[in-house]
Structure formats: structure tokens, C-alpha cells
Amino acid sequence: MQYPLPIAKVIESYMKLPGIGEKTATRLAFYTLGMPESAVQDFAKSLADLQQKLRFCSICGNITETDPCAICRDASRNQNQILVVEQPKDIMAFEEMGEYNGLYHVLNGVLSPMDGVSVEDINIKSLITRLQESDVNEVIIALNSTPEGEATTMYISRLIKPAGIKVTRLASGLAVGSDIEYADSLTLKRAVTGRTEL
Amino acid sequence: MQYPLPIAKVIESYMKLPGIGEKTATRLAFYTLGMPESAVQDFAKSLADLQQKLRFCSICGNITETDPCAICRDASRNQNQILVVEQPKDIMAFEEMGEYNGLYHVLNGVLSPMDGVSVEDINIKSLITRLQESDVNEVIIALNSTPEGEATTMYISRLIKPAGIKVTRLASGLAVGSDIEYADSLTLKRAVTGRTEL
């Protein structure tokens, strides 16, 4: 025996999401069945619209409804700094911090030969073009400290430096509030190397 | 700063599902954004159709596309037994077992005065009507052994017994493959009380 088709289809769709197996998908599908009809219709509409209404900003690569995106259009931002991130979600973290007022560039990935991601697959070319056509004097590279992130940071740095543009990266060290006792040795090593004068 | 509206709406919808907070919803929304367009459109359509195409069987209360449901329409099934369950999902478990060939009755809930669920809110009345109009000679009550499930079992049993219909419940005891060492005392007590002769 199988579930009626309408609910089987919803279960199947939920199962395509990461970390959701058959049991959880079934639970979510039955929960959805019991939700108010308007909420489920809104859910369906939001999914149908998602990819239709969003595009990548032709300047910075961020996801946006309007091209160029709100940040690229904002003349009040510091036009001399570009912060390079891996994905649109990362921009959110910096905007919530509230201390950065420059521009962004979203690579939408990092170099990863193992996964077949090469220079042409991420937004590096558009970053170079952008630097040639603008007054940017500092590029801050803010990629995750995975092996792929490190390699991509080095690659971009070597590409940009010859043009006389300052290239920086985020400081590595202990997270605020963390215990030295539990810090891994690589983090501790970076914290010592990058120590600052009081 | 906020995410563009199309993705914010999807995040909001995912957050309405049980066990999914803002972080997970954001991760799912960005994953959805990267899914093939056809898969996302299918997902949207399956949700839009879910409540439109499904209804409750007017006889047994199961969810179905056609009324009466496939089980109620199946004349080859034993028309003398009705197995009472809490929710449509439970029917699936019995059908997968493959040993039961009677009919079902889905309460769609259990009595729970604390949550404001009284006799009128679950399918008890329709069960009584059904018993009066048919040749059913055994009602098997298969509700979860929660306090609410126990109370509902007792309530239905007292209601039906006077009509001379046999009322049974599932055996309580040790799960097959489980260790006596780790069994809780209530389960062990039930297993001893319900011991069977070899």
C-alpha cells in the first residue's frame, strides 16, 4: 500500500532537501496537510517565485531582485573597498555586524579541483574586470578557512597584488568568549603569530 | 539589511515546519535556490495540490483522493473487523505488516481535555454509526500507549461493549529483539501480566 499520490509527491519533494530522510519527510508532509490552507498556498507560491524573481547582480554576484543590487546602487557606501565572500549568505553576516560600509563581491563558490570547480566556474574574472574599471584600493578576502578557501585566497591575492591594490584577509585567532583550554593548536598558533601590541 | 523578498518568503515558510529554526530554514532556502528549476516547480505544485486533492474518507476518516477510500471500497477485505487508529500514518504501518485484512477507522486524534480535544472533535460518533449499520463483530483498538491513548481506548471500549461487539486491544510487552535488561518496569509488568502459554 502507498500513500495517496498528492501526499506521496510532497514527501518526495521534502526528501530532496539536505538532511531530510523518508521518516522526517513523511512527518513534515502530514504536518503540512494539517496547516492552514492559506499558509500552504503561500508556501507553494514562494517556492514557485523563488528562482523566477531572483537573479545574480551583474556587478557583485549577490542574489537580488533588481540588477544591480541594492548595495551596488548605494552611492553612500565606500566605493574604495571590496570585500570578497564565498556566498550571498556571508554578506548578511557582515551587514549584521554593521562595521563595514564598502562594497562586496560574491564568488559563488571557491576553487576546488577535486569537485571540478575551476577559475571559470566562480566569479573571479568579473572581480578583476571590476578592479580595472573602478577606484578600489583595498580588497578584503573573507573566505572560510577550509583548504579550498585558503587556496582561493592565495590565488586571488597573487592575481591582484601586481596591480598595486592592497589585499588583506580577516584576522585568524581565538573567537571572542572562547576558552584557550579548548582551542585547537592551529587556531592557537595563528593567534600567537598574529598577536597585537597593547 | 534583509534577504531579498523572494528568498525571505521561502525562509519564513520553511520556519513554519516543526523542528526547523531560522538557521536551518535559511540553509534549506539557499539549497532550494540552487536546485534544478523543474524540481522546485514540482515541489511548489505538490504543495499547492496537497490540500485541494485530498479529503477525508466519509466512512473511515482516512485521507484519500477518492471518497470512499480504496480500503473501504475493497470488497475482498474482511468486513467483520475494524481496527481503530489515531492517524492515517498508522494505517501504513499495519498495511506494511501485511497480516491484517480487515477495515480501519481513523479517529484523527485522541481524547485530550487538556488540549481541548473532546468526543465531538474526533471520529468516535462516525465509528458508532458505522457499527450500527454493519456486520462488524470485532473492534481492535490500536492507539498509542500515552495517557490520552489509554483514556480514549477505555472510553471507546465502554461505549461499544454493551452492543455485544468484541473489543480487543494490541498486546503490550517486550519489543521483538529488545533486551530485558533495558526494558522499563511498566513494559515488563505488562509482559508478565500478558504472558502466553507455550
Summarize pLDDT for B111-140 with one digit per residue, the tens.
Answer: 998 989 999 999 999 999 999 998 899 999
Q: Which of A73, A109, A77, A72 shows the shortest CA–CA distance to A90?
A: A109
Every domain range in chain A assigned CATH 1.10.8.420: 5-53
> Do residues B184 and B174 touch, judged by C-beta distance below 8 A?
no
* Rounded Cα distance, A63 and A108, in Å: 10
CA dist., res. B198 & res. A107, Å (int): 71
Name every chain A residue with its beta carbon within 8 A of the beta carbon of B28: 17-18
Q: In the structure, what pLDDT confidence band is assigned to residue B1 with cuts at 50, 70 and 90?
A: low
A55, three cell numbers: 537573479
Task: Give helix then strand counts, H and E, for chain B.
Answer: 8, 6
pLDDT by residue for chain A (198 residues), tens only, comes to 678 999 999 999 999 999 999 999 999 999 999 899 999 999 999 999 999 999 899 999 999 999 899 999 999 999 999 999 999 989 988 998 888 999 999 999 999 989 899 999 999 999 999 999 988 999 999 999 889 999 999 999 999 999 899 999 988 888 888 888 888 888 888 888 888 888
Which residue in the set A13, A35, A53 is minimally distant from B43, CB to CB?
Answer: A13
Considering only CB atoms, B54 lies closest to which of A6, A31, A63, namely A6
Question: pLDDT tier at B96 (50, 70, 90 boundaries)?
Answer: confident
pLDDT at A1: 62
Let me know if B62 is exposed, middle or buried by CB neighbors in 10 A (0-12, 13-18, 19+): buried
Given a cut of 70, is residue B143 above it in pLDDT?
yes
Q: Which three cell numbers stand for residue B5?
A: 523578498
CB A86, CB A144: distance < 8 Å: yes
CATH 3.40.1360.10 fits B77-169, yes or no: yes
**Under DSSP, is residue B149 helix (H, G, I), strand (E, B) or coil?**
helix
Query: Which pLDDT belongs to residue A196?
Result: 80
Place of cell 571590496: A82
B95 at A interface, C-beta within 8 A:
yes
Q: Is B48 on the interface with A (CB under 8 A)?
A: yes
Q: Which three cell numbers stand for residue A154?
A: 592565495
B93–chain A Cβ distance below 8 A for any pair: no
The mean of the pLDDT values for chain B is: 91
Say yes or no: A7 contacts chain B, CB-CB below 8 A. yes
Q: What one-character DSSP code corresponds to residue A163?
A: G
Q: What are phi and psi of A76, to 5 degrees?
A: -80, -10
CATH of region B5-53: 1.10.8.420
Closest CA to A10 of B142, A34, A1: A34
B55-56 vs B63-64, strand pairing mode: antiparallel
First to last CA, chain B: 72
Q: Which residues of A touch B63 (CB under 8 A)?
A: 4, 7, 33
Q: Is A139 helix (H, G, I), strand (E, B) or coil?
A: strand
B10·A42 Cβ contact <8 A? no
For chain A, residues classed under CATH 3.40.1360.10 are: 77-169
* pLDDT in the model for residue B62: 93
Residue to substitute from A47, A106, A115, interface B, most B β-carbons within 10 A? A47
Nearest CB among A6, A30, A43 relative to B49 is that of A6
pLDDT of residue A174: 84
Distance from CA of A161 to the nearest CA of B (A): 31
